[in-house]
Amino acid sequence: MYLLPDGLPAQHPYAVLRQALQERQKWAIGRVVLSGQRRLVLVRPAGCLLTLHVLHYPTQVRSGASWEAELRGGTVNAAEQDLAGKLIDASMQPIDWSAYRDDRAEQLAALVEATLQGRSLTPVVEAKAPMLPLLEALQQSVAAALRDQTPADAVAPRARSRKKPRRDP
């Protein structure tokens, strides 16, 4: 969320605060009322603007230790680890933010229109994908990511360490 000055008289104090925070590389903590509720916020400079981030009080955040206790400990297979790394490397590319959009307003409008016309919207049922072993799923994902890359996007192969030949005694 961006904070903006309230009119021309507030522009100079706004600029002074933003520049002071930016020069000192500091952020500010404060409280505001949003939707009738008092919220803890962080204010930080971003270019010529001040941004506002809503925070949670520590009592509102569940400790991660309770979830960590539920996770099973285990070892990671070297082949799976290698393929997961290759998938990440193959997927590294600039993000097309236009592909990510909030379509809630469109969905709500479609629901209202359908209700006004006396019909109901039926949810789209996606076909279930078969459950694959992790290693096979990673191999397919790496192959698909490499196939989708343009030649300029191709990741340079990593240099492999060469082992010395074994000598027989």
C-alpha to C-alpha distance for 53 and 43, rounded to whole angstroms: 6
Residue 169 is assigned to a structural domain of this protein: no
Q: What angle do CA 64, 69, 70 make, to 5 degrees?
A: 100
- How high is the pLDDT of residue 168? 45
Domain limits for position 85: 78-90+131-149
- Whether residue 54 is predicted with pLDDT greater than 90 in this model: the reply is yes
* Domain match, 83 and 54 both: no
Question: Rounded to the nearest 10 degrees, what angle do helices 78-91 and 134-148 cross at?
Answer: 20
Query: pLDDT tens digits, residue range 105-121?
Result: 888 898 899 889 988 87
Residue 120 is assigned to a structural domain of this protein: no
Residue 6 is assigned to a structural domain of this protein: yes
Q: With H, G, I as helix, E, B as strand and everything else as coil, classify residue 63.
A: coil
Question: Are β-strands 37-46 and 2-3 bridged in parallel, bridged antiparallel, or unpaired?
Answer: unpaired
* Domain match, 50 and 84 both: no
Residue 38 is assigned to a structural domain of this protein: yes
Instruction: Estimate to the nearest angstrom the gap between the alpha carbon of 76 and the chain centroid.
Output: 24
* Domain match, 21 and 82 both: no
Model-level pTM greater than 0.75?
no
Query: pLDDT tens digits, residue range 36-46?
Result: 989 999 999 99
- How high is the pLDDT of residue 20? 94
Count how many domains the chain has: 2
Average pLDDT over residues 8-23: 93
